[in-house]
């Protein structure tokens, strides 16, 4: 791997080596840019660092201190944070759906949420490119923008077969995939062996993630991935970012750069900008209008499990094995705006036990449920929760081992959110009943983080422009899920990758103007009125 010194003014310095940072590093290294990626966690070696054991896999999650609050606090950790090269895609379930075209204009279409300053069609071909690179496997997709996948779908488990039968009775359309797991060997990556450990890190490297897809290619084209390097703050000279201050091996260092891209995701990226308060940026970089950290979203992710008389072995497949987006769009008859998707979840025994505990079963009852593990099938909803300014990241009074304030994330559900989650849970219970479930367990939870540095039309309503450039700066960008204005009912990993791919293309074509970003016209002026 090529190495740069701290005094080298590299063309692009990226903070974070996950879905956003990994793709952007690969795109820019391929066109000859000198790229350094600083990653706070380790450079994972799946053979040496990962094990096929739930309890022994916690070290791959972000377990750093965070403070949570609000009426409906969101638990931090394995369900929504990444740590190390590859980011949260190291332990994501492998599910890679696209956002729908409507996700980019929910305010115009449904009067809720926010419009993006770009459209789905600005990102569509980057979705396609990233699906090829992972690669994605699944059946032809009939929802949103109709499309096909590079690889045919994986075989299904007994649990999925049961649920497909129930869906037919319910008048539902279920599809297999899409997952970022090649259906067969792919380059030097082996076939999936269907062992169910996607969430604990794919030890065999069949599952696509930046660690095994984009990062190796970035290194081959001259990028440096500097692991175990925690960025403390972005260094600014007026409107211009000059580099970052970071700590490695206990020493504080500074790396110079012509452009800086923050890609630490929806909690750590706002925290970094807020912790970067300095001359000319008293309240944090990009925060002159109190927008940094606002509009952080999660998805309502209720899990409903059903017991069946036969052995199903739900773990013998990728966790998101079959799914539907039939209820993704707004249907006013449901009594709320926007919608939800449904997918299998395939919990391993400890995760299964947590779901049982969620309904209050302990002791002998928990043990009896555990003995029946292979008889259970599990479905999860992904409910679109709407952006709210008070759901936000701020700096806590608690500091980390580097002496910097940790992130505080306050989150509360609103009426539309609660109705969405309740409807999805009732519907999934009905689906399992139609499938022949003898017993049903249901628990509420949250998944996936989005927002906190959202893109928008002006500094008053957002943190970055349509080119991901931080308002009021000349060369500072945010290239992760924190830039997304809405959440959708789709897992966000592929969208984060596609957005970084788009920015990389615009960089390489010279389409990102130098200097401070200009205000963008409102959507009605850009795309015409929505009927």
In this predicted structure, what is the pLDDT of residue 244?
98
pLDDT at 28 over 90: yes
The H-or-E segment that residue 351 falls in is helix 349-358
Instruction: Quickly state the pLDDT bin for 463 (edges 50, 70, 90).
Output: very high
In this predicted structure, what is the pLDDT of residue 82?
83
Could you give the angle at which helices 158-170 and 415-434 cross, rounded to 10 degrees?
Answer: 100
Q: Single out the residue of 497, 138, 162, 194 nearest to residue 325, CA to CA.
A: 138
SS3 assignment, position 220 = helix
pLDDT at 445 over 70: yes
In this predicted structure, what is the pLDDT of residue 451?
98
Residue 162 and residue 525: Cα distance in Å, rounded? 49
Beta bridge partners of 341: 382
Q: Are 123 and 502 in contact (CB under 8 A)?
A: yes
In this predicted structure, what is the pLDDT of residue 165?
86
Residue 156 and residue 168: Cα distance in Å, rounded? 16
DSSP 449-515: EE-SS-B-SSTTT-SB-TTSBBTT-SSEEE-SGGG-S--TTS-SHHHHHHHHHHHHHHHHTT-S-SS
pLDDT at 530 over 90: no
Summarize the confidence of residues 323-351 as an average pLDDT: 96
Q: Single out the residue of 475, 53, 21 nearest to residue 242, CA to CA.
A: 475
In this predicted structure, what is the pLDDT of residue 96?
97
pLDDT at 531 over 60: no
Summarize the confidence of residues 94-121 as an average pLDDT: 96
Answer with the residue of higher pLDDT: 524 or 464: 464
Place of tokens 């030890």: 203
In this predicted structure, what is the pLDDT of residue 528?
63
Residue 273 and residue 76: Cα distance in Å, rounded? 20
pLDDT at 4 over 80: yes
In this predicted structure, what is the pLDDT of residue 162?
87
Q: Which of 48-62, 224-238, 258-272, 296-310 is predicted with the least confidence, judged by mean pLDDT? A: 48-62
Give the pair of three-digit tokens for residue 427: 């519907």
Place of tokens 């949103």: 144
pLDDT at 79 over 70: no
Summarize the confidence of residues 247-261 as an average pLDDT: 97
pLDDT at 107 over 80: yes
Total-model pTM: 0.97
In this predicted structure, what is the pLDDT of residue 516?
93
> Average pLDDT of the chain?
94
Of 156-165, 178-187, 411-420, give the range with the top mean pLDDT: 411-420
- Which tens digits make up the pLDDT trace of 388-419? 999 999 999 999 999 999 999 999 999 999 99
In this predicted structure, what is the pLDDT of residue 521?
74
Q: Are 491 and 136 in contact (CB under 8 A)?
A: no
- Which tens digits make up the pLDDT trace of 341-366? 999 998 999 999 999 998 889 999 99
In this predicted structure, what is the pLDDT of residue 105?
96
Give the pair of three-digit tokens for residue 121: 């069609």
Q: Which of 33-47, 309-323, 384-398, 482-496 is predicted with the least confidence, judged by mean pLDDT? A: 309-323
Q: How far is CA 313 from CA 198, 287, 302, 320, in A?
A: 15, 50, 21, 14
In this predicted structure, what is the pLDDT of residue 114?
97
The DSSP call for residue 97 is: P
SS3 assignment, position 236 = strand
Question: What proportion of the chain, given as a percentage, has pLDDT over 70?
Answer: 98
In this predicted structure, what is the pLDDT of residue 78?
72
In this predicted structure, what is the pLDDT of residue 52?
87
In this predicted structure, what is the pLDDT of residue 35?
98
Q: Are 469 and 320 in contact (CB under 8 A)?
A: no
């Amino acid at each position: 791997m090529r190495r740069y010194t701290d005094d080298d003014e590299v063309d692009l310095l990226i903070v974070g080596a996950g879905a956003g940072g990994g793709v952007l590093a690969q795109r820019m290294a391929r066109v000859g840019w000198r790229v350094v990626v600083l990653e706070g966690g380790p450079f994972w070696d799946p053979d040496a660092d990962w094990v096929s054991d739930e309890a022994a896999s916690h070290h791959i999650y972000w377990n750093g201190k965070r403070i949570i609050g609000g009426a409906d606090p969101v638990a931090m950790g394995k369900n929504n944070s990444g740590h190390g090269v590859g980011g949260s895609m190291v332990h994501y379930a492998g599910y890679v759906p696209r956002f729908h075209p409507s996700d980019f204009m929910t305010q115009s279409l449904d009067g809720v949420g926010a419009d993006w300053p770009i459209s789905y069609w600005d990102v569509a071909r980057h979705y396609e490119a990233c699906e090829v690179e992972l690669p994605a496997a699944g059946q032809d997709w009939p929802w949103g923008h109709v499309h096909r996948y590079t690889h045919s779908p994986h075989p299904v488990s007994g649990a999925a077969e049961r649920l497909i039968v129930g869906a037919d009775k319910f008048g539902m359309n279920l599809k297999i995939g899409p997952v970022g797991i090649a259906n067969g060997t792919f380059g030097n990556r082996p076939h999936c062996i269907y062992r169910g450990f996607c969430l604990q890190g794919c030890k065999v490297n069949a599952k696509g993630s930046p660690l095994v897809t984009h990062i190796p290619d970035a290194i081959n084209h001259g990028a440096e991935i500097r692991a175990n390097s925690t960025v403390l703050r972005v260094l600014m000279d007026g409107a211009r970012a000059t580099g970052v201050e970071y700590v490695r091996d206990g020493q504080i260092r500074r790396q110079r750069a012509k452009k800086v891209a923050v890609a630490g995701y929806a909690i750590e990226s706002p925290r970094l900008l807020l912790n970067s308060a300095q001359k000319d940026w008293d309240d944090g970089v990009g925060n002159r209008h109190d927008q940094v950290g606002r509009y952080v979203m999660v998805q309502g992710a209720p899990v409903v499990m059903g017991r069946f008389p036969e052995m199903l072995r739900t773990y013998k497949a990728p966790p998101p094995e079959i799914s539907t987006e039939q209820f993704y769009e707004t249907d006013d008859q449901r009594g709320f705006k926007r919608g939800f998707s449904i997918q299998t979840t395939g919990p391993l025994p400890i995760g299964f036990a947590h779901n049982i505990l969620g309904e209050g079963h302990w002791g002998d009852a928990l043990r009896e449920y555990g003995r029946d593990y292979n008889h259970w099938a599990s479905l999860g909803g992904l409910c679109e929760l709407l952006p709210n300014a008070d759901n936000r990241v701020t700096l806590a009074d608690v500091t980390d081992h580097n002496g910097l304030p940790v992130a505080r994330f306050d989150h509360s559900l609103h009426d539309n959110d609660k109705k969405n989650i309740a409807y999805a849970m009732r519907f999934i219970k009905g689906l399992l009943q139609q499938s022949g479930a003898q017993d049903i367990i249901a628990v509420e939870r949250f998944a996936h983080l989005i927002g906190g540095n959202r893109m928008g039309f002006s500094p008053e309503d957002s943190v970055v422009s349509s080119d991901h450039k931080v308002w009021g700066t000349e060369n500072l960008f945010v290239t992760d899920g924190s830039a997304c204005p809405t959440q959708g009912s789709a897992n966000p990993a592929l969208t984060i990758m596609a957005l970084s791919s788009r920015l990389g293309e615009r960089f390489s074509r010279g389409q990102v103007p130098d200097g401070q970003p200009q205000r963008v016209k409102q959507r009605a002026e850009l795309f015409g009125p929505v009927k």
